[in-house]
Chain A
Amino acid sequence: MSAFFVKRVISLILSLIAASVVIFLVLEVVPGDPAAFMLGINADPQAVEALRDQLGLNAPLVERYFTWVFGLMRGEFGTSYTYRVPVAELIADRLWVSLPLAIYALVLSTLIAFPVGIIAAARRNSLADVTVMGATQFGIAVPNFWFAMLLVLVFSISLRWFSAGGFPGWDAGAYEAMRALTLPAVALALPQASILARVMRSSLLDTLGEDYVRTARAKGLTRSQALWRHAVRNALIPVLTILGLQFSFLLAGAIIIENVFFLPGLGRLVFQGITQRDLIVVKSVVMLLVFAVILVTFLVDIAYAVADPRLRRQHA
């Protein structure tokens, strides 16, 4: 176990370093001078130069990279060119919208997908199964932001159950905040739930055909006992991987869904950063999201190894 763990940690660190170098270099080739942009077209060249110094833009490339990375480690992301406040503060504020949204969606998607996938597999080729397969085929094809617009049309405009957008903030109380995140979370969750339900179904169909399930039945377990105690537990392993992968899709998806509902999350922040050439904001948000993806992949790998000892031996 420990050899496997060490190997995974090393590869986690290497991935993070590589990702940070890529993000840094890509944004370094950006045409246009942030200092000149901040001061406007008619700025005095000397003032621009002074600002460049202040922002640390005149330091050598390698030095700037290390300043940035060590800053990240201490939680100092630098100062936003346009907001003139620490980027860390901006991100922390927005994270309180995007992260709960992604987690909310992940929970919803799991709650929908697991029962649906299990029922479809347990009653293979039944009407329920055929319906699930047809519905999920549609679910996969639906763009989440379009689905979000339809939800607004039905639940906000026609039925007036939810507001069409905006976020009251967590200060308004958890209930109000969660209520504002409900339609966005449903919009994010449904396409993901479709994929997850299909994975759950096919994984369960595989385990249901295994010898140990037949043995369990021969031992005298009922069909549902064998299903729950043996088949479902083993079917969860591939499902876990997809679940981990989905978290990164949900975070990225949240960026888009935030646009539909005018939520003040990371997505709004990063798109404003692009239009205002506030590259330090863009750089930090992208790094944060990539970090999240890499970390989740790592955690899934570890969880996988804990769940299935065979994998530890294979990889170690």
Chain B
Amino acid sequence: MSDAPVVLERRDNLWRAALGSRSLVIGLAITLVFVVAALVSLAWTPYDVTKLAIAIKLRPPSPEHWFGTDIFGRDILAMIMVGARTSIAVAVIAVGIGIVLGVPLGLAAATLRGTLGDEVIMRGNDLIFAFPALLIAILITAVFGPGAVNAIIAIGIFNIPVFARLARGAALSLWTREFVMSARVAGKGRARISIEHILPNITNLLIVQGTIQFSLGILAEAALSYVGLGAQPPIPSWGRMLSEAQTMISIAPHTAIIPGLAIVLTVLGLNLMGDGLRDLFDPRLRRSRL
């Protein structure tokens, strides 16, 4: 019973530190703006993004259309909101795939340290690592055709070795710690120790890496839909908004500038959040942060 207040106090400190971290607060605020925009777009958008209105195409920003209209006369604000949904959904699921498949592989490799199993898992990871996400996407698209789901799979596969390596590295150092030793002495199996003792202790690392991969996922999704390998029409996506704007850039620069800014801000927000979280979880890293 006596340690309850201690825990409470620690949590209090964590919150205070979180609110005191400028990059965390700014990053979180930017990210929330886009998450909220994406959620709101599920129920409401200022205009219908599926309705084309050629008569009012390429209008610059105005009180009626805050961000102007695109080449088909669609409201760019509404497109950005729905595009946020596509970007966030693709990136979140892709990070999810990386965590769900990569972390168990990394944990397994750590428990099998030095055996053939470890070697096979890690060499398999190296192999995937040799395929940039774009090449995976090209291969998948060549087989199944372009689409948001294939973009998710491509980015997800790319994420697997990232999380596997992280989990293995962190788990290896934990396996030498006393609390893991005592769990082994108590007779717990390796798998159970991995889940009950190792995993909770690497969660912070996974959250930080997850934030970084999330931002990379947003960039990758944008690049894939820009070259036509991502979400297909009529689903709005930031990357395709850019490719549609490209030919019109000299007469309607806003059609290219606004979706690009949306990508930059989202990625910036996530990166700042990642930096802030890393400092928060591990103050020792603050000195040498990238």
Minimum C-beta distance from B102 to chain A (A): 18
**In the complex, are the beta carbons of B264 and A27 less than 8 A apart?**
no
| B288 CB contacts on chain A under 8 angstroms | 202, 205-206
Q: Does B55 sit at the interface, judged by CB under 8 A?
A: no
CB 8 Å contact bits of A280-311 with B (1 = contact, 0 = none) = 00100010011001100100000000000000
How many Å lie between the Cα of A205 and that of B285 in the bound state? 13
How many Å lie between the Cα of A279 and that of B141 in the bound state? 11
CB 8 Å contact bits of A242-259 with B (1 = contact, 0 = none) = 000000110110011001
**In the complex, are the beta carbons of A146 and B263 less than 8 A apart?**
yes
Could you tell me which A residues sit within 8 Å of B by CB distance? Answer: 11, 14-15, 18-19, 22-23, 26-27, 29-31, 137-138, 140-143, 145-146, 149-150, 152-153, 157, 198-199, 201-202, 205-206, 248-249, 251-252, 255-256, 259-260, 267, 270-271, 273-274, 279, 282, 286, 289-290, 293-294, 297
**In the complex, are the beta carbons of B222 and A294 less than 8 A apart?**
no
| A29 CB contacts on chain B under 8 angstroms | 143
Minimum C-beta distance from B149 to chain A (A): 16
**In the complex, are the beta carbons of B139 and A270 less than 8 A apart?**
no
**In the complex, are the beta carbons of B134 and A252 less than 8 A apart?**
yes
**In the complex, are the beta carbons of A199 and B139 less than 8 A apart?**
no
Interface-central residue, B130, B132, B133, B265, by most chain A CB under 10 Å: B130
How many Å lie between the Cα of A280 and that of B249 in the bound state? 35
- Please pick, from A137, A249, A256, the residue contacting B268 in the complex, using a CB distance under 8 A: A137
Q: Does B256 sit at the interface, judged by CB under 8 A?
A: yes
**In the complex, are the beta carbons of A256 and B223 less than 8 A apart?**
yes
CB within 8 Å: A-B pair count = 126
**In the complex, are the beta carbons of A252 and B135 less than 8 A apart?**
yes
State the main secondary structure of chain B at its contact with A.
Answer: helix
Minimum C-beta distance from B79 to chain A (A): 15
Minimum C-beta distance from A40 to chain B (A): 19
Known: A26-B143, A27-B143. A145 touches B242 (CB 8 A): yes
Known: A248-B132, A286-B135, A286-B139. A15 touches B260 (CB 8 A): no
| A137 CB contacts on chain B under 8 angstroms | 268, 271-272
